[in-house]
Chain A
Amino acid sequence: YQYLLITGIYVLEPWEQSIFNTLLFTMVAMVIYTSYVFV
């Protein structure tokens, strides 16, 4: 609930929330992977 409220996607429609979550988790995965490779 806090995640929905702080990002503001609480007010979005479900399909918009899916887009946002997909994008966010893709970016986070990329950052983690690249950091791992880099380190």
Chain B
Amino acid sequence: MNSRGIWLAYLLLTTALHVVLLSIPFLSVPVVWTLTNVIHNLAMYLFLHTVKGTPFETPDQGKARLLTHWEQMDYGIQFTASRKFLTILPIVLYILASFYTKYDTTHFVVNTGSLLSVLLPKLPQFHGVR
């Protein structure tokens, strides 16, 4: 997650997701923002906090096999640049989604639940907790 251009690629991917959802004729703007937020957080939860191990063999005698991607990042060091970036982005998306849904209650509850599902696992207190 530190290599060159990966943050830009991640932003572009999120933007593309939003544009594609926005192009679905029968979806309203609030629904599109909530969908963007929920799909983004779902994908982030899956790839960063659910899948364990590495998709290829690593020479570390299986040490990484039981760790999620988030726990393997930067060898487990907390508060690195990548970790901050990946923590801030869902919050920004949540603020945008809340704004564009005009703080409607239903959307607010859905978006808040979705945001918490990706924020809690990122807390240092939950490192390695199952």
Contact = CB atoms under 8 A, between A and B. Distances in A.
B26 to A, nearest CB: 11
Give the interface size class of chain B: under 10
B20 interface: yes
A37 B59 CA distance: 54
Contacts, number: 17
Contacts of B25: 30, 33-34, 37
Nearest to A37: B25
Interface in A1-39: 27, 30-31, 33-35, 37
A30 B22 CA distance: 9
15 contacts: A27-B20, A27-B23, A30-B20, A30-B23, A30-B24, A31-B20, A31-B23, A33-B23, A33-B25, A34-B22, A34-B23, A34-B24, A34-B25, A35-B23, A37-B25
Q: Closest 5 CB pairs between A and B? A: A30-B23, A34-B23, A31-B23, A27-B20, A31-B19
Interface of A: 27, 30-31, 33-35, 37
